[in-house]
Homo-oligomer: A and B are copies of this chain.
Amino acid sequence: MEKTLLSIVLILIFTKIGGIISRKLKMPEVLGALISGVILGPVVLNIVQYDNNIKLLANLGVIMLMFLAGLETNVEEFKKSGLSAFIIAVAGIILPLVLGTISAYMFFNNFWENLFVGVILTATSVSITVETLKELGKLNTRSGINILGAAVIDDVLGLILISVVLAVAQTSSSNSGSLGVLSILYVLVKIVLFCILSIVGVIYIPKILNKFSEYTKPGRELLTFSIAFAILIAFIAEELGIASITGAYIAGLILSSLTHKEYLERNVKAISSGFLSLIFFASVGIESNLKGINLEVIYITLTMFIIAVVGKIIGCGGAAKLLKMTTSESIQIGTGMISRGEVAIITANIGLQKGIISEEIFLPTLIVVILTTIITPILLKLAFSHRIEKSV
């Protein structure tokens, strides 16, 4: 117990200082938190161990993180963003998925592991792009609106993809032979049911709850019941073989249309960003075995990085071009979707824990997240500069 208390203190202080340094360098705070974890872990200082206690808090942290992500999702924007954003998002998911899976065969021979590499490479993290677009004052251009819409759709589709692959991979590795197909069908039926229930939930639950909102004030009750709801849906999703993070995200989506959403968001943010999600990010850093770096890992990293960049620029940019946007806009949209973030790390983390991917993929994922985060704002500024716009 005492050891855990000290570990928590070290994690909170290091990740927050790491976050502040990241912010000063115009990087997302997540990066600083991850690197702080690496420093605290066995690779450098070796003063914090990844034991059961830290694991529990990290698991609660990632549930809170995804719950908050759901809460912060603008469902209206999702509904409005229209066909163009949807096509851009789908193209930007399919290309990295296919390219990632195929190129993984250069290193591994396991289909599910290779497919999971593709899955890891799909999810865009739009926060760094939004920051950059805000700075450039381009958030309300046609490119900006399409990037935002596509990123939201990308998030949802990405999570569905992760859930399906995770469920099927787990089922097919535990069953082999003729029973396999039936089990997979069973899993797919469960996922479809979960999706239908989720959609019904997102549409109707807020309507029902908001009817009572005049009688209820935003308070601790709302907060506690919402946390219980998020953990419950995460638990159910996990039990169904779908990722718990998908459940937590869906719970957030459902509650994101509540009248008292703002109160909820502020308080969940305190628990997540102020406390528990820091422990999650640190734990990822602590787990990542930097000593395992070798030539193969470097090759894997380079391959994944190239697919991460090319997959989105050609996938999203190409879709935009097909939708009759200008070349300049298409490049802007493709570039804006490059950066990867929390979801890629969370996905890789789940894959590692479930034994679907090996450690040799986990480390490259972290590095790809860092690299794409660094180059996205640089490329985005370039894509919005006059030089390119005039040259088109």
Contact = CB atoms under 8 A, between A and B. Distances in A.
A145 interface: no
A362 B146 CA distance: 62
A228 B52 CA distance: 20
A13 interface: yes
Contacts of A9: 228, 231-232, 235
Contact of A12 (B2, B57, B228, B270): B228
B2 A221 contact: no
A234 B1 CA distance: 12
A167 to B, nearest CB: 15
Contacts of A273: 220
A327 interface: no
A266 to B, nearest CB: 8
Nearest to A247: B5
Contact of A8 (B20, B231, B269, B270): B231
A72 to B, nearest CB: 15
Interface residues of A, number: 43
A249 B52 CA distance: 27
Contact of A225 (B16, B220, B239): B16
Interface string A372-384: 0000000000000
Nearest to A6: B235
A213 interface: no
A157 to B, nearest CB: 26
Contacts of A63: 5
Number of identical protomers: 2
Interface in A226-252: 227-228, 231-232, 234-235, 238-239, 244
A274 B278 contact: no
A234 B6 CA distance: 10
A172 interface: no
A223 to B, nearest CB: 4
A59 interface: yes
A15 B275 CA distance: 22
A12 B227 contact: yes
Contact of A5 (B16, B224, B231, B271): B231
Contacts of A16: 220-221, 224-225, 228
A224 B228 CA distance: 23
A302 B19 CA distance: 55
A56 interface: yes
B2 A235 contact: yes
A1 to B, nearest CB: 6
A329 B32 CA distance: 59
A73 interface: no
A267 B228 CA distance: 18
Interface string A35-78: 00000000000000000110111011001000000000000000
Given A20-B221, A278-B224, A56 B1 contact: yes
A170 interface: no
B56 A227 contact: no
Interface string A259-291: 000000001011101110010000000000000
A267 B265 CA distance: 12
25 contacts: A1-B56, A1-B59, A2-B235, A2-B238, A2-B239, A5-B63, A9-B228, A9-B232, A12-B228, A12-B231, A13-B225, A16-B221, A16-B228, A19-B221, A20-B221, A220-B270, A220-B274, A223-B275, A224-B275, A224-B278, A227-B274, A227-B275, A270-B271, A271-B274, A271-B275
Interface of A: 1-2, 4-6, 8-9, 12-13, 15-16, 19-20, 52-53, 55-57, 59-60, 63, 220-221, 223-225, 227-228, 231-232, 234-235, 238-239, 244, 267, 269-271, 273-275, 278
